[in-house]
Amino acid sequence: MRSLLPVLLGFAILLPAAGGLAADQQTAPVQGPLVQNIRDGLYFVRGGMAYNGFYVYDKGVIVIDAKMTAEGTRQMVAEIGKITRVPITHVLITHSDLDHVNGLDGYPKAAMILSSEATKKEMEEAFKDEKLAGLRAYLPTQTFTRTFSLRIGNELIDLIPVGPAHTAGDTIIYFHGLKAAFVGDLAFVGRDPLIHRQKNGTSVGYAKALETMIALDADTFLSGHNDPLTKDDLKILLASIREKQEKIRALIQEGKTLAEVKAAFGIPEAAAGAAGRSRPGLVEIIYVELTEKK
């Protein structure tokens, strides 16, 4: 039986926020890195603005995503060094949000970096910002538009592109033998999922990505903003999205406006003259998708 008790390695250090483009901040910073042994060389890393992880095999280490800052990533690398002395050989990226890629320059440059083609394009666009110019050397060196498989030691790893969903380029990283998958921001539990329309994300794609994850022969799903999840957690999340889609579709057929639809879900209107504008929530995203002209 696997243990989900965290293995805390070293002292926890509060990770600072970084400049640059806005990143997901659904999870408040926690002390970290906090390294949890999932099973058989697979580790989950809390800490910073988003969670990630790594897999240790006989000749190296595969890391999944980075921290929000180079310093946060270097702290994680130091914790990896307490477990093994083999080098980091691969960096696998789930999606392009900066809380998952902003700290890539904390990894050794020799590592191969892999992402979906759409994620690389989003990173290229983000890294045009001169504040992020140092990250241009860490653009993916291998991309894919369909499932890309890696045979690493005795483990088969599938990189399954499922975007557009949360972003245009989301990827599920599935470890066959370990029955586990890193899913980036494709699973938020305890709150509605975040969908980046500015990155061509869609609620329809998000639901399809959840269906793909549920169909995997896996029992552990490692999210960028939650503790390890089960397949039942994903089924509940999918049912919630489907329920909202159907309810909003019915309200639209009744001629309801966006304001009326939001009111039906108990979502208050933003105060007039409020500074800035919050990003649209799931209800608004679904409404726009169902009413926009194709």
pLDDT, tens digit, 9 for 90 and up, residues 45-61: 998 899 999 999 999 99
Instruction: Give 130's Cβ-side CA count (13 Å radius).
Output: 0
258-289 pLDDT per residue, tens = 999 999 999 987 654 444 456 889 999 999 99
State how far the Cα of 104 lies from the Cα of 68, in Å rounded to an integer.
Answer: 8
Task: For domain 30-244, give the fold.
Answer: Metallo-beta-lactamase; Chain A (3.60.15)
The ranges assigned to domains in the chain are 30-244, 246-291
| pTM, full prediction | 0.86
Cβ-contact 260, 177 below 8 angstroms: no
Judge residue 199's burial from the number of C-beta atoms within 10 Å of its C-beta, 0-12 exposed, 13-18 middle, 19 or more buried: buried
Closest CA to 63 of 92, 36, 21, 87: 92
pLDDT digit string, tens, across residues 79-107: 999 999 999 999 999 999 999 999 999 99
- In the chain, the percentage of residues whose pLDDT exceeds 90 is 79
d(CA 75, CA 212): 33
